[in-house]
Amino acid sequence: MNRSELLSRLLVAVGETAVLTGDRVRARSAGIWGQPHTIAAEILVRPADTGQVASVLSICNELDQSVVIHGGLTGVVEGARAENSDLVLSLERLDGVDSIDPIGATLTAGAGTPLATIQEAAAEHGLMFPLDMGARDTATIGGNVATNAGGNRVIRYGMVRSLVLGLEVVLADGTVLSSMNQMIKNNAGYDLKQLFIGSEGTLGVVTRVIVRLSAQPASREIALVGIDDFDRVTRLLGYLNGACGNTLSAYEVMWHDYYSFMTVTRPAPLPPDSAYYVLVEMLGSDPVGDGERFITVLDEAQTMGLIDTAIIAKSGTDEQAIWAIRDDVVSLQELRPMFLFDVSLPIRSVEAYVTDIRAALTKGWPDQQMFVFGHLGDGNVHLAISAGSASGDARKNVEDIVYRPLAALGGSISAEHGIGLEKKSYLDWCRSDAEIGVMRALKNTLDVKGILNPGKVFD
C-alpha cells in the first residue's frame, strides 16, 4: 500500500484539518486503561459526518488499509488499540444530539456524543436515558453500542441492545447502511442493527444512533446495606425484586476488600466491618410515598434478618457519595500490576467461585490482593487482582485461574466489556466452534478484506 497515495486521497476526501499524522497522532492519549498510553498509529482521521466516514472507509478498503475505530477510549479490553501500520478513525467530530421526540421518547445522536451529554439532553425533556456507568463523561454512545455496554441499571432497563431502536452504520467498503428505525415494533425482515451492537467495531462503523428513552423517575431512593454472609445477599435480592416491584434499578455489591480500599480516602457511610455491601437503588414515580415505602421495605428486610446494617441517602450529596464508592474503579489502577476481570455466572454460584479463585491466587502469590465488586443483580462480577509482576507469566496464570471454572458453571469470560484483544484467546472457553464459525462468516461477508479492527475478538 502506498502511504502517500493514501494520504493524498484522504486529504481530498476530508480536508487537512481532519487528518493528523506522525507526532500529532502519537501526542494523543490512547485511553486511561492499559498500555501503551499513546497512539502508535501514523495516521488519524477525524471525519465530520457520515459521508466523510464512508469516503475514508472506501479509500482504505480499496488500498487494503487497516482501520482502528476510536470512540471515547474508555474500553478496558484493548479493543481500540492501534498498531503503527493501522489508520485510526476517530468519531470525535460526529458529536451532538440531533433531535429528541418527546412523544415517541426517542433521541437521535451522532456516534461521538458522550453518554453524559445524552443523559442530560433526555433529562431536559423530562425523560431519562437509563444507560449509566462510571465512564459516562468520556464514553461515547457509538462506543457503548459497539461494546453493547451494560452498566449500573441493567437489572431494570437491560443492556444497550435493548435501548437502541435505530442505527446508521458504514460498512468496510464505504456502504452506508441506514437502519434509523424509531419504532418499538418493526419486524420487516432481519433486525440488522443487532448485528452491529456488541461487534466491537469489527463489522462496521456506527455513525448515528436512535435510542429509546424512559420516563424520568419522580423519586430516587438509595441505600447502602451491610450483610455478613452471601446467602443473605442473594435472598435480599429476591426479596427486593418482589417488594420493590419493577422499581428496583440497581443492586450493586461490593465485597469487604473493595469497600475498605475505597473508603480509605473518603468518608465511609457504613463502618468497613461487613463482609458485603449492597448499593440498592429504587427509581419510582411517587416522590412522597416512595421514600416511606423504601424505608418500610428495608425495615421488613431487617426484621426478616436479611440485613445487618443499613444507611439511607437523605440528599443528593449522600447519593453521590454512595455511588462514588462503587463507581471509582479508576483508582484501582494504583495497584501494580492490576488485572481487571469482568465475568458473569449464575448468581447462586458466585460466592463459591470467588472463594475458589481467592484460594488459588493465594496459593500462587501469598501476597496477592483481590477486590471484588459488580452488578451482582445481573450475575456480573468484576475482579481487580494484583498478583506477581506486570511482566512475565503472572497475567496468563491469573487469567487461567479466573476463566477456567466458568464454562462448567455456565458463565462467560465477558459480561459487558467485550473481547477486544485482551480476551480473544479465551473466546472458545465460552463460545462453541459453531458460534465462532458463524461470527467469522459474518465478518468475512461484511468486511471482505478484513480491514476493520483486524485481530480484535478473534483472528
Residue 74 in the binding site for ligand FAD (CB under 6 A): yes
Cα pseudo-dihedral 61, 67, 70, 76, rounded to 10: 140
Q: Which of 75, 110, 377, 388 binds ligand FAD (CB under 6 A)?
A: 75
What are the CA-CA distances from residue 93 to residues 52, 133, 451 (Å)? 11, 22, 22
Under a CB-based contact definition with an 8 Å cutoff, are residues 141 and 209 in contact?
yes
Query: What is the bridge-based pairing of β-strands 19-21 and 43-45?
Result: antiparallel
Query: Residue with CB nearest ligand FAD?
Result: 143
Q: Which residue's CB is nearer to ligand FAD, number 149 or number 298? A: 149
- Work out how close the CB of 209 gets to ligand FAD at its nearest, in angstroms, rounded to a whole number: 9
Query: Is 388 a residue that touches ligand FAD (CB under 6 A)?
Result: no
> According to the binding rule CB under 6 A, does residue 134 interact with ligand FAD?
yes
- Count residues binding ligand FAD (CB under 6 A): 37
**Minimum CB distance to ligand FAD, residue 330 (Å):** 5
Q: Which residues pair with 280 in a beta bridge?
A: 223, 251
User: Per-residue b/e over 284-316, b at no fewer than 16 CB within 10 Å?
Assistant: beeeeebbebbeebbeebeeeebbbebebbeee
- Determine which residue in the list 146, 236, 350, 370 makes contact with ligand FAD, applying CB under 6 A: 146
Q: Which is nearer to ligand FAD, 72 or 388 (CB)?
A: 72
Supply the angle between the helices 350-364 and 394-403 in degrees, to the nearest 10.
Answer: 150
CB of 127 to ligand FAD, least distance (A): 21
Q: What is the secondary structure of 63-129 as a DSSP string? A: TT--EEEESSS--SSSTT---TTPEEEE-TTS-SEEEEETTTTEEEEETT-BHHHHHHHHHHTTEE-
Name the segment binding ligand FAD (CB under 6 A); options: 148-156, 213-221, 263-271, 399-407.
Answer: 148-156
Query: Least distance (Å) from ligand FAD to the CB of residue 241?
Result: 21
Phi-psi region of 78 (alpha: psi -120 to 50; beta: other; left: phi over 0): left
Q: CB of residue 229 vs ligand FAD: minimum separation in angstroms?
A: 26
From the list 22-30, 55-63, 132-140, 286-294, the region that binds ligand FAD by CB under 6 A is 132-140
Q: Which range, of 69-77, 97-105, 227-235, 360-368, touches ligand FAD by CB under 6 A?
A: 69-77
Candidates 34, 47, 71, 217: give the one binding ligand FAD (CB under 6 A): 71
Q: Which stretch binds ligand FAD (CB under 6 A): 75-83, 242-250, 259-267, 405-413?
A: 75-83
How many residues does this entry show for the chain?
Answer: 459
Nearer to ligand FAD, 104 or 455 (CB): 455
By CB under 6 A, is residue 174 in contact with ligand FAD? no
CB-count burial class (<10 Å; 0-12, 13-18, 19+) for 105? buried
Nearest to 214 by CA among 298, 130, 293, 286: 130
**Contact call for residue 111 and ligand FAD (CB under 6 A):** yes
**Closer residue to ligand FAD in complex, CB, 148/274:** 148
8 A C-beta contact, residue 205 and residue 452:
yes
6, 58 contact by CB (below 8 A): no
Residue closer to ligand FAD by CB (options 90, 247) is: 90
**Cis (ω within 30 of 0) for the bond into 366?**
no
Which listed range, 128-136, 259-267, 317-325, 349-357, lies at the site for ligand FAD (CB under 6 A)?
128-136
206: contact with ligand FAD by CB under 6 A: yes
- Find all residues with CB under 8 Å of 75, minimum gap 6, and list them: 31, 33, 143, 147, 417, 418, 420
Among 205, 307, 343, 384, binds ligand FAD (CB under 6 A): 205
Rounded to the nearest whole angstrom, what is the least distance from the CB of residue 311 to ligand FAD in the complex?
Answer: 23
Q: Please identify, using beta-carbon distances, which residue of 82 and 233 lies nearer to ligand FAD.
A: 82
The answer to whether 206 and 171 are in contact (CB under 8 A) is no
Rg (alpha carbons) of the chain, rounded to whole number:
23
Q: Does 416 bind ligand FAD (CB under 6 A)?
A: yes
Q: Is 76 in the site for ligand FAD (CB under 6 A)?
A: yes
Which residue number, 161 or 431, has a Cβ lying nearer to ligand FAD? Answer: 161
**CA atoms of 273 and 283, how far apart (whole Å):** 28
What is the DSSP track for 376-393? GGGTEEEEEEE-S-SSTT
Residues in region 315-334 near ligand FAD by CB under 6 A: 329-330
* Chain contacts with ligand FAD (rule: CB under 6 A): 33, 69-76, 79-80, 91, 111, 133-135, 139-140, 142-144, 146-147, 149-151, 200-201, 205-206, 329-330, 416-417, 420, 453, 456
